Every structure is written in structure tokens, then in C-alpha cells.
Chains A and B, each alone.
Chain A
């Protein structure tokens, strides 16, 4: 079988839409064009019905009530709504402190920073070497002013899974709202909002084989979480998110969620098998480091540092693989990853890091091809590298004083 190049290994950035979803969305674009908020005719009702089915499909995947699910344009918007919405609603009750983690997605960090401008205070919790938070440290940051803790489930750059259940228990004990950015986890690992004591969850469509431009936010009803909406308008989505709900996109997210629910075990087995093989073979090269905790991780995300090669040259050398050196939204800039920095990975090694994302449509042939290519190119680049010689001789590169000419 011939392999189609380039091979897509960037599933954390985005995923192709599942063919079943493509068909359903394309059909829906033509059929369900009514405005789902039109209460006066059958086109509107039928569109609304589709939206409500999708809402239930999403709720079912996380053990929520459909009334707790609101459609948004994506996880970035959901994160903005959750963080600013809760903070702004409860600010008059004297709670003005937000806790998040240094390795969160930019949209979480920047939402919190935006709130700082408005007079809120915040704590950016660091992570351990393995990328996981320390629960004791989290507990020590919670004060009677703390309103919200926002901690992601699966990290987008390194794939580690934070201990949501323990965080949820802690938040509940102290009466603090718990939000989690689950863009990289929803549909991939099992999430139960009640088991995890989650109050708010952000959901993305295009990371789970649904279209871009659609996401959702879960907002707990019991005990009720109130939020001040990010925008106002026609009052759609019970005022939490105004604007016409795009029926076909919502339908796509609903269907993708249902497929994810039914096929989660199958997906996981498939991805785990490929991921294990890839990792085992690549680690045969020496001085390769898997970033983040080795066990508490999502198997479809492997972030590897290649000592003795330069990251950009490696990406150029393996152009047949569509991969990324960090999250897509920051990868256009060449600054080293702030996530790896937070783990204490030094900049030299961080510069050699590449994220390999494996997904539902990755094949074993593609993984074999990738393993071969990486083997070849890493060896070649290392042969040319004076640094590699030094590393092999056991010289600590940090001890070298570089001369400038």
C-alpha cells in the first residue's frame, strides 16, 4: 500500500472531520438552514430539534443534563466565558481571586491576565518536573477570596492528565468553583462531571473530528453556577451565549460526540498501540526524552526532545510528517515553549522538542514510515552536529563558555 504524504501527526492542533460527520454536516447545511431561534415556522422548529439532539449527545458523553450544555464557537470562547463569566458574576460577593496553572492554554492564561487588568488577583500555580500540579500547593493557594480554580484535563503540548478528581474534591471542600479546559480530553478520555465535581467544562469540536467553529461549555445547575455572559444580544442559549446557534455545526459536534462515546475504547486501543510502537522504536535512539509524566498521560500526544539536533532543522528534515513544535496558536512564533519551560526543561532541549499527535485515522503504515524517517534524519543531523559529539563525550553543554566573534 502506498502512503499518502505528508503524514498528518498534528491531531492536537486540529483533526480532519470524521467522514460520517462530513456527510451529516453537508446534508444538514442544505436541509437545516432555518434559524433555530425562529419560533414561527417548521424550518426553525426542525433546526431547533437538531440542535437539541446534539445538546443531548454532548451531555451524554460527560454525564451532564442537556440543560447544562451551551453552544459556543469553540473552546477558546468557552474558556473566556467560564473564567470571565464566573469572575465577573461573583465579584460583588467579595471573591476576586482566581487560580490557574502556568501550563494552561494561552486562552486561559490570557483570560486571567485580562481580569487582572480589571482588578482581580490571580495565582499561577507551577507544575512539577512531570508537568503535573502538586495538590498540596494548590490547597495552600486557596483563600476565602478564591472564586475559581481553572485547571485543564489534558495538556495540549505534552499530553499529561491533571488529577481532576482530586482537584474537584478540593474545590468542593473549600466551596470554590472548578473549571476545566477539556478541549484535549473531551471525547478522548472518559469524563464524568459529577464524579469529577466539575462546575464548568470547555469543549471543542475540531479536536474530536467535528468541524471548527463549534464548541460548548458545560455549566453546572446543581449547585447552580451563575455566569455573566461575554456578549449580549438576542438572548439565545438562555442568555449565556447570544448569537444564532449554527445548526449544522452543532449537529456535527453532537454526532462526533456520540461516535466518540461509542468508539472511545476502540479509538483508545488503536491509538495506544500505535503510540507504544512509535515511542518504543524512537527511544532506541539515545538521548531522546518524553516530556511530561510517563503514566498520567493521553497516549495520542507524544512530546519528544531530541538532544543534539536543532528542532527547526529536524522539522524541516521530516517535512513528510505534518507535526508541530508546540501548540499551533503559538507555534508561528519561535519562542521556546512556555509549557516545557514550566516543567524545567532547559531552553536548548526545549528547542529540540516536537509534538507527535496520533489520532483515529493514523495507520500503522504511517507510523512505520514516521519511525524510519525520524531514525534516518536524526542520525544524519547528529552526525553533522558538533554538539552531538560533545554530548556523547559526556560534556555538559551548559558548562561551555561560548565565544562570540
Chain B
């Protein structure tokens, strides 16, 4: 049996989520239909909306269901009422790579800990008009939690709009959209033990945002297409469970810290935990090993039936050097040598011990023969 340590990439839906979806699949639900199955379906959708609003303290936000966070963020970047976009250097590919016709894209930096540099942001947006700031709540690779409330404050002070990719924060830390004062937020179900293929875009009430996908009048004409009822129900349920398990999630830090401490004892200065000194998600560790290619490490873990990654899954195809590590200005010998471990609810201490063991053997091979 393999050990799965790649939960920031995707999580297995909770069994109760799968069960709920299985029941829905048996029924021909289309919430746009006017007969009573349509009405039942619509009430299920409304319930899921409530679950999302509750988890995020987002009663003042319109919830638009999309196919996932990529679509959500594209809708904001393409259609928000702004002609300039300021991205942080550590944004996810779906934000960072978004080339929008007619909008100018700028970048602001992060510091060595992988935390967004507020001074740089402020310098760049001061005296700008009609702009959007886009910054994530927690980084998918390093787990570094960003000063989003501050970013929001600085943005609004300069009369900009603020878009926050909260994908990696949801279900891992408490997220309060009112408090963070964001204008737009995107999230994804399959990162919080819900199904793949469903996500949401939250838009503060009163802000107009055109659709990206045109068609019927579903979702107040904000997103056309028959709604994915089963996945929406699964998503809502995953949110309910997430709000009950935040405390439980934070305890994953014990396993993560044990892991990091053990590796440091083995490798000392040959090892660097990226963003170690930043506030981090409890489950994430981005571990660089001096002058050892991440690819080589991954092959070794795979042979030993441990699933980790070198960073974001979607940018693979070819495994390129992590853009995030570059943004952090890592020393050259750590640059292409980091692997990401991201824990989930089902991981146990024995999983971590196995990981340490495999890592130790690998380390001996690489360093002690030199």
C-alpha cells in the first residue's frame, strides 16, 4: 500500500461525500427544470451555498459554482472591472499565467520566507487607478500563509479591487471573508475532501462580474451550464465537515514538525525547509536537499511507494523548476532540489516514520559515499 503525502494536490473525498453523491446520481436532477425534481435539486444547491457561506463567513457574497478554481480565477481576471492586474510572484499558475487581452499585468515580490512583500506591493499600487490585486491566502508549495488582511487594506486604500485565491487555506485554517475584506475569492472542492470538477467563485454582493461561459440563465446568468448537482452536494458536505475539523487539521503540525525535526537531525545544513520561518499551513513541508535534483528524489520515493511532489501538479507535463523557489531567491544549490510533503487526515505517525526511513537511506547513498 502506497503512502499518500500529496494532499495539497488532491484529496480523496470523504466516504460520506461519496455516499451522498451516489444517491444524487440515481436521480435526474436538473435544478433549472420546473417540475418537482427540479425544485428539489434547487433546494440542494441552496443548501450547499449556505454550507460554503458558513464555512467562510460569507453571507454577503454571491456563490457561483464553477468547474474549479482555475475557471473561477479566470472569470475574475478576465472580467473584473480593472485594466491592470497586480499578481504576487507566488500565485498559482492559473492566476500567474493568465494572459488577459486588454489588461496589463504587473508583479509584486515576496521575501525570503515566501511571504508577500507588503512594502513592494504598496510601492507598486500607489497612484494606480482601476486595478485588481491578486494574492493567495496560502501558498500551495510552501504552505506559507500570506498577510491577506493587510494586502486587502492596502489595496482598498488605493481604491483597487482585491481577489484572493483561498484554495489552499480553506479547510486548513479559519477563513473569514468579511474580516479579510476580499472582493472576489476562489476555492476548489477536491482540495478539501470533496470531488474533483467543482469549485466556487465568491463575489461580494453589489459587485458586477460578467460570465466567462455564456448560455442559459443558470446562476443568475453569472455562469451558464447545467449545474453539477451531485458534486455541488458533495462540495457542501465537504465544507460542513471541514468546519468541524479545523482543530483536528491544525494537529497535523505535530506530525509535520516531527518529520522536519528528524530530517534536520540527519542532514543538518544539507537541508533547508523552505518558508520554515513563515506562518505555515499545518500539513505542508517544502524540503530542499543540497544539490540533489528533485526529480531524483521523487523517483526514489516512488520506488518506495511514497507519493510526494516537486510542487504544483498542474504545471507538470514537463517537470520544470519550481517558479516559487525562484521567487524566494533560494541559493543555487537548493534551487531545483525541493520536494513537497503535504499531509492529510489519514496520515499516521508510522507513515512519517516510513518516510523518514526512506529519506535516511537515500541521504546516506547520496552524501556518505562522497
Contact = CB atoms under 8 A, between A and B. Distances in A.
Decide if A and B are genuine partners.
Answer: yes
Interface of A: 6, 8, 10-11, 13-17, 19, 21-22, 25-26, 29-30, 33-35, 37-44, 72-77, 79-80, 105-108, 110-111, 113-114, 204, 206, 211-214, 230-236, 242-249, 315, 319, 322-325, 327-333
Nearest to A233: B94
A77 B70 contact: no
Given A111-B214, A233-B74, A331-B32, A73 B10 contact: no
A26 B21 contact: yes
Contacts of A6: 35-37
A403 B245 CA distance: 67
Contact of B198 (A213, A230, A322): A213
Contacts of B25: 16-17, 21-22, 25-26, 211
Contact of A74 (B73, B225, B307): B225
Chain B, interface residues (CB within 8 Å), range:
35 or more
B354 to A, nearest CB: 15
Contact of B213 (A42, A230, A327): A230
Chain A interface, DSSP helix/strand/loop, else mixed: loop
A243 B214 CA distance: 18
A329 B21 contact: no
B339 to A, nearest CB: 8
A76 B215 contact: yes
Most chain B CB inside 10 Å of its own CB: which residue of A38, A73, A236: A73
Contacts of A76: 213, 215-216, 224-226
A134 B25 CA distance: 40
B196 A235 contact: no
B160 to A, nearest CB: 22
Interface in B215-236: 215-218, 224-231
Identify the 4 closest CB pairs spanning chains A and B, nearest first: A329-B216, A234-B314, A107-B215, A246-B197
Interface in B282-339: 298, 301-302, 305-310, 312-317, 319
A44 B230 CA distance: 24
B225 A15 contact: no
26 contacts: A10-B28, A10-B30, A10-B37, A15-B28, A21-B25, A26-B22, A26-B25, A34-B9, A39-B313, A40-B316, A76-B213, A76-B226, A107-B224, A110-B224, A204-B226, A232-B99, A233-B70, A234-B97, A235-B314, A243-B67, A246-B196, A315-B34, A322-B37, A328-B38, A329-B218, A330-B216
B190 interface: yes
Contact of A106 (B4, B34, B98, B215): B215
B206 interface: no
Interface stretch (B11-19, B49-57, B110-118): B11-19
Most chain B CB inside 10 Å of its own CB: which residue of A41, A315, A333: A41
B226 A41 contact: no
Given A106-B224, A333-B217, A30 B13 contact: yes
Interface in B129-154: none
